């Protein structure tokens, strides 16, 4: 990255964070002239270019400089997942009735900053990127072990999005030019170590953060709690992941923005079914394998599916037309009337 980037590791500036909040960016702009506020080195970037991912300019080994941090009011929905999860657990006594699962992707509070990032352009110069800097509120959540699940979720969701987009292209008759068909694409984050920092209350050297190119000034919830405005592409994508995984995985908290053609996702979550324990296997044998018969209590996965995907559109029916079969019902996790079949 050259001498310009190496100087990012020698940052000894004012640690005051007041100018990072809304209404105080004028002061921040004045301070920017002093130099970078954070110096980062990309250490984890597994997502490859595909039809399901936006191309990231960052690769493992790159050193980048965060020149300016600010709050974006339109990004407030990024923190709703953790807020709702905490309120839900405080209000309910029975864990079996929870829509949100356990785990740090739901319980670990995060801060989301808009970051003006300077990086090499690969030709001896520099270029600017508007990014989302995601930092754990607690210092224990600023390790690479905590950041990797953020990156891995986006990587796995992008893999599903690639297959979904190929499916959608076939439906639209655009097999030869699948990128021309409307699709779902994920902004891939990278995991970075902090090399230097003038903002100790944001992150300190040795800690890890997630960095995502995200130029939009708003974040919209597409699939979150079930009360969102119905947008067919992300709703069909949610259904597709549950269907193609046989109900073993679900995408959650689909959020981002829409451009002229695509739905662009940021910080999605992939819910993975827990591996069966010995007790589960014994219980299945003891019941004679009849746990899935009519009258059995719906699983939490079915509950989430019904709640987050209350109806289907034409794109859903394109890949899951046999909704009356037991297999389709099991994979979809929906009762027939709630999925738009039979006049619903």
Spatial distance between the Cα atoms of 324 and 328, rounded to a whole number of angstroms: 7
Q: Is 61 exposed, middle or buried (0-12, 13-18, 19+ CB in 10 A)?
A: exposed
Range name among 4-8, 81-85, 133-137, 245-249 with the lowest pLDDT average: 4-8
Share of the chain above pLDDT 70, in %: 74
Whole-number pLDDT of residue 270: 97
Q: What pLDDT score does 298 carry?
A: 62
Average pLDDT for 42-66: 96
Model pTM? 0.80
Helices (H), 249-334: 278-286, 300-308, 314-319, 326-332
Confidence category of residue 328, pLDDT binned at 50, 70, 90: very low
Q: What are residue 84's DSSP bridge partners?
A: none
- Dump strand ranges (E) for the chain: 38-44, 63-70, 110-120, 126-136, 184-186, 190-197, 208-213, 220-223, 249-252, 254-258, 263-265, 269-272
Predicted confidence band of residue 6 (pLDDT cuts 50, 70, 90):
very low
Indicate if the pLDDT at residue 293 is higher than 60.
no
Kindly state the average pLDDT of the residues 88-105: 71
Name 99's bridge partners: none
What integer pLDDT is reported at residue 329 of this predicted model? Answer: 40
For strand 263-265 and strand 184-186, is the pairing parallel, antiparallel, or unpaired?
Answer: parallel
Burial of 305 (0-12, 13-18, 19+ CB in 10 A): buried
Q: Which pLDDT score is estimated for 327?
A: 36
Distance, in Å, from the CA atom of 172 to the CA atom of 178, rounded to the nearest integer, reads 9
Q: What is the pLDDT of residues 61-72, one digit of tens each?
A: 999 999 999 999
Span 48-59, mean pLDDT? 94
pLDDT value at 338 more than 60: no
**How confident is residue 302, by pLDDT bands cut at 50, 70 and 90?**
confident
Range with lowest mean pLDDT among 12-21, 153-162, 208-217: 12-21
Answer yes or no: is pLDDT of 248 > 80: yes
Q: Could you give the CA distance from residue 272 to residue 268 in angstroms, rounded to a whole number?
A: 13
Specify the range with the lowest mean pLDDT, choosing from 12-26, 59-73, 94-108, 198-212. 12-26
Contact 47, 56 (CB under 8 A): yes
Query: What confidence tier does 101 reach under pLDDT thresholds 50, 70, 90?
Result: confident
324 or 315, which is more confident: 315
What was the pLDDT predicted at 272?
87
Residue 227 pLDDT more than 80? yes
Find the mean pLDDT for residues 11-21.
36
Per-residue pLDDT at 159 exceeds 70:
yes
Q: Hey, what are 112's tokens?
A: 């989301």
- When pLDDT is averaged across residues 76-86 and rounded to a whole number, the result is 93
Work out the end-to-end distance of the chain between its first and last CA atoms, rounded to an integer number of angstroms. Answer: 58
The tally of CA atoms less than 13 A away on the side-chain side of residue 141 is 18
Summarised one tens digit per residue, pLDDT across range 269-283 is 999 876 655 665 566
Q: How far apart are CA 237 and CA 221, in angstroms?
A: 14
pLDDT for position 34? 64
* Average pLDDT, rounded, for the chain: 81
Q: How much is the average pLDDT of 97-123?
A: 89
């Amino acid at each position: 990255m050259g001498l310009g980037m190496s100087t990012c590791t020698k940052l000894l500036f004012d640690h005051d964070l007041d100018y990072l909040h809304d209404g105080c960016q004028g002061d921040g702009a004045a301070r920017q002239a002093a130099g970078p506020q954070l110096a980062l080195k990309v250490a984890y970037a597994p997502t490859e270019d595909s039809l399901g991912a936006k191309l990231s300019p960052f690769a493992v080994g790159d050193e980048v400089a965060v020149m300016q941090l600010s709050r974006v009011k339109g990004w407030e929905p990024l923190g709703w997942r953790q807020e709702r999860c905490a309120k839900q657990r405080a209000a309910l006594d029975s864990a079996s009735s929870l829509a949100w699962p356990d785990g740090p992707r739901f319980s670990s509070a995060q801060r989301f900053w808009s970051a003006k990032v300077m990086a090499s352009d690969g030709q001896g110069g520099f270029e600017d990127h508007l990014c989302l800097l995601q930092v754990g509120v607690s210092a224990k959540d600023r390790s690479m072990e905590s950041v990797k699940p953020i990156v891995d979720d986006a990587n796995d969701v992008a893999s599903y999005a690639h297959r979904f987009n190929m499916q959608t292209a076939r439906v639209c008759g655009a097999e030869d030019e699948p990128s021309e068909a409307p699709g779902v694409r994920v902004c891939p984050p990278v995991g970075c170590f902090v090399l230097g920092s003038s903002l100790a209350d944001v992150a300190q050297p040795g800690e890890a953060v997630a960095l995502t190119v995200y130029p939009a000034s708003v974040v919209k919830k597409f699939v979150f709690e079930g009360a969102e405005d119905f947008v067919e592409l992300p709703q069909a994508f949610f259904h597709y992941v549950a269907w193609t995984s046989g109900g073993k995985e679900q995408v959650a908290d689909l959020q981002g923005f829409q451009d002229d053609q695509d739905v662009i996702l940021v910080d999605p979550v992939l819910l993975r079914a827990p591996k069966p324990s010995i007790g589960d296997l014994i219980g299945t044998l003891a019941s004679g394998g009849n746990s899935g018969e009519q009258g059995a209590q719906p699983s939490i996965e079915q509950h989430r599916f019904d709640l987050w995907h209350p109806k289907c559109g034409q794109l859903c029916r394109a890949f899951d037309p046999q909704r009356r079969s037991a297999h389709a019902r099991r994979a979809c996790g929906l009762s027939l009337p709630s999925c738009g079949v039979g006049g619903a």
